[in-house]
Amino acid sequence: MSQPSDGQPAGEAEASRRVFYFNGGFLWQTRVRRILKLAGHDLTLGRPGRDDLIAVWGRSPYAARGEAVAARTGSGLLRIEDAFLRSLHPGRSGEPPMGLVIDRRGIYFDSRHASDLEHLLATHPLDDTALLDRARSGIARLQEAHLSKYSAFEPATPCPDPGYVLVIDQTRGDASVTHGGADANTFREMLYWAQEDHPGAPIIIKTHPETTSGHRPGYFSTKDESTRIRLLSDPVSPWALLDGAIAVYCVTSQIGFEAILAGHRPQVFGQPFYAGWGLSDDRHPLPLSRRGRKLTRAQLFAGAMLLYPTWYDPCRDRLCDLDQAISTLEAETRAWREDHTGWQAHGMRLWKRAPLQRFFGQHRRMVFGGPPQPDRRAMVWASQTDTAPVGAVRVEDGFLRSRGLGADLIPPLSLVCDDLGIYYDPRHESQLERLISARARLRPDQDRRAEALIAALIRHGLSKYNLGQPVPDLPEGRRILVPGQVEDDASIRLGAGTICTNLALLQAARTANPDAVILYKPHPDVEAGLRPGAVPPAAARDLADVILDRTDPARLLGMVDEVWTMTSLLGFEALLRGVRVTTTGAPFYAGWGLTRDLGDTPARRSARPTLRGLVHATLIDYPRYRDPVTGRACPVEVVVERLAHGPLPRPGPANRLLAKLQGMLASYATWWR
């Protein structure tokens, strides 16, 4: 949040003051109005007084109306602008911002006057260890996820061969240029010096996304190209582009700020907010004497990204910190990058198509079946790979699925997409295996996030389906939980090994633990009569001390000493709660040193992640999540809150009727699976 003179956040300090506006943008931009209201600035129409504030948008042409009223009435000005991490697409494409800057002194891109950001960078101690750790983590997260102000690009889009000088173009007449001490001649001068300073090196001019989208022209065009100079309009990742640059030249572009974060010392020809702090070579003829302080990259980031903006969480409809904003934008960006070219789905049952369309069809509607369409990616339900083209992405339910069974046609809140294999098939490498290996070492922020997620799951008693009744009284002794599974499930067929039935698992557990209290928990789908895997009652009573029908597995895990399983997800959920796990097959969580494995696990699982590393890969990195309330792609934490507290939309009457019909026709399960 911006900082007024008393050092308190603007939204808190000015909450009691009325805020008036005089241009229509504040009327129709509902997201902007909502953020301002949550920050304590409830916009209104009317005639302001001397003690009131007038909101204007930066230094746009329309701001003059509010500025004129402020001059006549003596009201204060509140300048509003997009935050530095804005959205997938530019604002002119109609997408609302993820955050705002709310500035009482000026605005960050107007170097003629001090802004709240400049004041903050000049006077704030910026020496708090926790703050700077958050800053370093924030920088790493933006780089890892390839997030920028506008993030609608493919990180894999090729960049020019390394060794070029990067020159950053901007949109002609942009306020950050005109109020940053620059003009068209500044851009010409910048290009001249880029060539003079680096004789013989290729020059890459990166166009602005709004220029590429056709909204506004830039200062450079194809007329500036030569054998040495190339105009790059492809939507490449700024972070990948910066990696290949030997030098960066900019006027006031935000990419200059990102260049500093990436380790460059950019040549700056304007007077942007990041100039004058000892992190850039400032080539503007007029020095910024107000900025004499030397900052580190972490300090600059802390001020510009953590302390100055007001961030918004669109799923929870509340203000949030930068970490939450990054998590939200990560989820939305991933969805766009995977979905914007469109999907062609194969092997999908009719009832799954509507939920899949909601998940994957937000940016371009999915098509189901038919001959291959080269302009679309192919997907297939993981158990139906024989119905799809070679190379189709496999899709399966995620590990925090729903409140209710998939077999009851309850739509999922999470799905996984895997272009290598699928997590339950140990015969082939999967993307989950790669992610687990990559998370053998976690950054502090990743470790904290995984730890907080584990704590939330335990606190709320969450599992995959979140069904079941309270746990009955259990016999005393060393309790071993044996979870039953669906015996024709793909994870059993492909990963169970020699012990591949619930009866065989019970027998193995009892043989190895003759004195233990064996608790048998049948699978919910089997209990509902929808899938095979029932153990004959007499055999179950002979091998198990207690049969826990329809019991909540999450509550049960807190009462047992060990879990014996073939490949059940309950083994993973047990690890989260500190319960010892013995596997007889090769589930995705086996072979990493966290379980006792009696079966054969792939030798390629040689990494040794911590439990938090396993959780980060499995629940944060691998699945995609969809908020059932807003319909938005979201991070895992939102789904955890929905499962814990609701609200969750109830299945419609048609769904409930179909589920009842399915139960009556359980012997014909292949019709709907």
Rounded to an integer, what distance in angstroms lies between the CA atom of residue 37 and that of residue 40?
Answer: 5
Q: For the chain, report the end-to-end CA distance as a whole number of angstroms.
A: 50
Q: Give the number of other Cβ atoms within 10 Å of residue 173's Cβ.
A: 12
Tell me the pLDDT band of 12, cut-offs 50, 70 and 90. very low
Residue type present at position 181: G
Rounded to an integer, what distance in angstroms lies between the CA atom of residue 438 and that of residue 442?
Answer: 9
What pTM was computed for the model?
0.92
Token duo for residue 7: 């050092």
Report pLDDT for 9. Answer: 39
Rounded to an integer, what distance in angstroms lies between the CA atom of residue 370 and that of residue 367?
Answer: 8
299-305 mean pLDDT: 98
Tell me the pLDDT band of 94, cut-offs 50, 70 and 90. confident
Bridge partners of 250?
268
- Distances 350 to 354, 532, 663 between C-alpha atoms, Å: 8, 22, 17
Residue type present at position 180: G
Phi first, then psi: what are they for 250, rounded to 5°? -150, 165
**Which positions ≥6 away from 667 have C-beta within 8 Å?**
none
Report pLDDT for 652. Answer: 55
* 330 neighbors 145 (Cβ within 8 angstroms): yes
Token duo for residue 51: 């003690």
Judge whether residue 664 has pLDDT over 70.
no
Rounded to an integer, what distance in angstroms lies between the CA atom of residue 479 and that of residue 488?
Answer: 28
Quick: pLDDT tens for 176-223.
999 999 999 999 999 999 999 999 999 999 999 888 888 889 999 999
Rounded to an integer, what distance in angstroms lies between the CA atom of residue 357 and that of residue 359?
Answer: 5
Quick: pLDDT tens for 259-268.
999 999 999 9
Judge whether residue 292 has pLDDT over 70.
yes
Residue type present at position 173: G
Report pLDDT for 528. Answer: 74
* 384 neighbors 375 (Cβ within 8 angstroms): no
Report pLDDT for 653. Answer: 56
Rounded to an integer, what distance in angstroms lies between the CA atom of residue 160 and that of residue 203?
Answer: 10
Q: Give the number of other Cβ atoms within 10 Å of residue 47's Cβ.
A: 10
Quick: pLDDT tens for 442-464.
999 999 999 999 999 999 999 99
Judge whether residue 325 has pLDDT over 80.
yes
**Which positions ≥6 away from 643 have C-beta within 8 Å?**
400, 403, 413, 460, 462, 466
Query: Any alpha helices (H) in 229-295, and if so which ranges?
Result: 238-243, 254-261
Rounded to an integer, what distance in angstroms lies between the CA atom of residue 271 and that of residue 291?
Answer: 11
Rounded to an integer, what distance in angstroms lies between the CA atom of residue 397 and that of residue 517?
Answer: 32
Judge whether residue 121 has pLDDT over 90.
yes
Judge whether residue 11 has pLDDT over 50.
no
Residue by residue, DSSP assigns 90-151 as -GGGTPPPSEEEEESS--TT-TTS--HHHHHHHHS----HHHHHHHHHHHHHHHHHT--SB-
Residue 474's nearest CA partner among 511, 513, 521 is 521
Quick: pLDDT tens for 52-64.
999 999 998 889 9
Give me the chain's average pLDDT, please. Answer: 92
Rounded to an integer, what distance in angstroms lies between the CA atom of residue 634 and that of residue 624?
Answer: 8
* 538 neighbors 554 (Cβ within 8 angstroms): no
Residue 207's nearest CA partner among 237, 171, 175 is 171
Rounded to an integer, what distance in angstroms lies between the CA atom of residue 330 and that of residue 87?
Answer: 10
* 166 neighbors 206 (Cβ within 8 angstroms): yes
Q: Which one of 47-61, 595-609, 649-663 scores highest in mean pLDDT?
A: 595-609
